[in-house]
Structure 1
Amino acid sequence: MEVRRWIDGDESAGDMLARFSIERPFLLLPPLHRVPLRVGNVVELVGPSSSAKTLILIQAAIGCILPKDWNGVNYGGLGRLVVFIDLDCRFDILCLSTMLKHRIKEANGLLVKTNVERDHLDTQKCDERRKPHVDYDEELYALCMKRFLYVRCCDSFEFLASLKTLHYQLKQVEAAQQSSVYLLMIDSSIGAFHWVERASSFTQSSTHRKSLSLQNVSETVVQEMRKLLRMHPMLVIATKTISLGDRYANENQRKKSFPDTTSTHKVPYREYMPSVWQSFVTHRILIRASDDPATVRHQQICSVYLSEWLLPPSSLLDKFIVKDGFIFIVP
């Protein structure tokens, strides 16, 4: 009946675009706002340690689990489910809770904007300090936290097992929440277990198990994720920790010395993931910390981060800071 109604239906292009934007909305979130991201894309956040990659994931998750409207208040969210796969077992749930509460208070105008509170609110350390009379919508907070699904993996076997069984878990959760999953996040690095398992493989005498090489694990991960995305269309965002070293400095120096030279785009770091994963990725963005701090209101000094699109390649370089639970683009 639904198929027949769809065939016989008549809608304008504007109605079709409006319906499609609701069913599969774009994710426009700094610093990922340069390229509209939607269901089916596989985004790789590349950067060294302490480059705000996890904070970007948390910010994207909050924008997804918050509703668009709630009790007459506009939150601008998607009201969808998020799956967060933690590969280093260091995810700070208090950080997510603090930033979510901050977003709810900000939308309701309940934040106390005093110098003392701003000095004590350090988002990067996720230290939750609020005044007793500052309240938030607890019902909305509980609803949003139920939309955040957390999976922790300690080795490649647990990671692969989670991907294989995630379909059945999502079916139950989607039926209970009456909502579909929009975001699948993998943190802290898609190749997190490679070096540990490579070192431990030399001490194992048994050869009955299949080798846990990075190639074998990556092939299985991509295969299982393709199956999962066919059954549950989602936007995938995965982080990858890399070491820039002098390669990035040399690349920037070459661009300054030969600005008019045109050549194939090369990543300014040593790629260690197999080609099966690289071909699976549709978008790639490089995140790194800047050496120049920024002074914002009330003479506060914040760390500045730089974002650069590598896939699709772009010459634009965005600067952003993280303050009070939000990511701000700075000129």
Structure 2
Amino acid sequence: MALSQWIDGDESASEMLARVLKERTSLVVPPLHRVPLRVGNVVELVGPSGSAKTQILIQAAVNCILPKEWNGIRYGGLECSVVFIDLDCRLDITRLYQVLKLRILEAISNGSSSTGDQENFDALHATCLRRFFYIRCYDSFEFLATLKTMHHKLQKERDGLGVGLHLLVIDSIGAYHWVDRVSSSLPLWGHNRKPLPSPFLPSRIKRMMLCEQSLSESESRHGKTDGGQVLYREYMPSAWQSFVTHRVFVRDSDEHPTGSSCDRQPTYFSEWLLPSLGFLDKFIVKNAGIFLVP
């Protein structure tokens, strides 16, 4: 929009919101749908092991790489690139393929009954996967080297694909925290190399956040206090805590939805800590992704 058009223009509040939301797409996958997430936001998922944190990251990644529309069928994605940095080296990539495949097949079955669906699926599946970049790092220095050299690679991929990076996923940001802390206390660490200063990782990631969002997973071994029971306690350094703009706490539950035994799925709870919303979302994980439970 030109400056003169903006000055002379006259639009209602609803028209302005529709325009802004269209221009600034956001992640709307459960349980991240409660708060509008924008470029530059850093969202931390915290919770004990086995609380579906990685499943949420996979769902967010699939939502980004899917197109808004393809051959007349609406898929509801953001049509953007995703970088998934796996610091735990435990991501089941076949799980991402499964969620992506089922999302595509569901949209095709709802939006088209014509022939050539298989060709449509194959072409779209390959296009989506070209927007997904998977990187494994095995220590902090490898992670830093990845962040330092990523800008040039992403610029090259942006020129080739015609779309920019929208989401940076780190699973999990605390993977090397305790190893680095112990190593830094030793008299000879890494052949006399100095340990990483705590603000260095956030500052390096912050440079990348000028054009995209970030999702990170942090596994809490202590937890958030609830009725005297400690469920979550922060252990990351203050440099990281001040860097995070949003925080969501997720945990497993003993509850199961009603139904036949084969349909029963583990139930999970999510709670926004930053900003504090004061209520819980309940969700389950199915083959096609995450679904909210009333």
What TM-score does the superposition give when structure 2 sets the normalisation length? 0.88
- Are 1:242 and 2:227 an aligned pair? no
Name the amino acid aligned to 2:278: S
Q: Secondary structure at the match of 2:33?
A: coil
Aligned to 1:323: 286
1:28-67 superposed matches below 5 A: 28-67=28-67
Provide Cα deviations, 1:14-47, integer angstroms capped at 9, x if missing partner: 6654443233212111111111112111100001
Provide Cα deviations, 1:129-174, integer angstroms capped at 9, x if missing partner: xxxxx95610000000000011111000011111111111110011
- Are 1:6 and 2:15 an aligned pair? no
Q: Give the whole-Å Cα distance in 1 for the aligned partners of 2:156 and 2:22.
A: 23
Aligned to 1:116: none
Structure-2 change in CA distance of 1:90 and 1:299 (3 Å): closer
CA-atom RMSD, angstroms?
2.3
Provide Cα deviations, 1:79-136, integer angstroms capped at 9, x if missing partner: 01111111011111111111101100011118xxxxxxxxxxxxxxxxxxxxxxx956
Q: Give the whole-Å Cα distance in 1 for the aligned partners of 2:272 and 2:20.
A: 26
Contact 1:222 1:280 in 2 (8 A): yes
Name the amino acid aligned to 2:238: S
Aligned to 1:306: 269
Aligned to 2:202: 222
Structure-2 change in CA distance of 1:271 and 1:77 (3 Å): same
Structure-2 change in CA distance of 1:205 and 1:142 (3 Å): closer
**2:234 aligned to which of 271, 285, 292:** 271
Name the amino acid aligned to 2:204: E
Size of the aligned set, in residue pairs, is: 282
Contact 1:295 1:302 in 2 (8 A): no
Aligned to 1:252: 227
Aligned to 1:172: 156
Structure-2 change in CA distance of 1:13 and 1:204 (3 Å): farther
Contact 2:169 2:215 in 1 (8 A): yes
- Are 1:162 and 2:146 an aligned pair? yes
Q: Secondary structure at the match of 2:241?
A: helix
Q: Give the whole-Å Cα distance in 2 for the aligned partners of 1:300 and 1:225.
A: 41
Structure-2 change in CA distance of 1:12 and 1:326 (3 Å): farther
Aligned to 1:131: none
Q: Give the whole-Å Cα distance in 1 for the aligned partners of 2:65 and 2:84.
A: 12
- Structure 2 residue runs of 5 or longer lacking an equivalent are 111-116
Structure-2 change in CA distance of 1:7 and 1:297 (3 Å): farther
Structure-2 change in CA distance of 1:237 and 1:72 (3 Å): same
Q: Give the whole-Å Cα distance in 1 for the aligned partners of 2:232 and 2:21.
A: 36
Q: Give the whole-Å Cα distance in 2 for the aligned partners of 1:13 and 1:226.
A: 35
Name the amino acid aligned to 2:273: L
Provide Cα deviations, 1:214-271, integer angstroms capped at 9, x if missing partner: xx2x4111111222223xx1111100000246x63xx2359xxxxxxxxxxxx95221
Aligned to 2:72: 72
Contact 2:137 2:143 in 1 (8 A): yes
Aligned to 1:82: 82
What TM-score does the superposition give when structure 1 sets the normalisation length? 0.79
Q: Give the whole-Å Cα distance in 1 for the aligned partners of 2:191 and 2:99.
A: 47
Give the percent of matched residue pairs that are identical in Structure 1 and Structure 2: 51
Contact 1:89 1:153 in 2 (8 A): yes
Structure-2 change in CA distance of 1:108 and 1:206 (3 Å): closer
- Are 1:211 and 2:195 an aligned pair? yes
Name the amino acid aligned to 2:284: I
> After TM superposition, what 4+ stretches of structure 1 lie above 6 angstroms from structure 2?
none
Provide Cα deviations, 1:164-215, integer angstroms capped at 9, x if missing partner: 111111100110000011111100x212112223444538466631124xxx
Contact 1:53 1:239 in 2 (8 A): yes
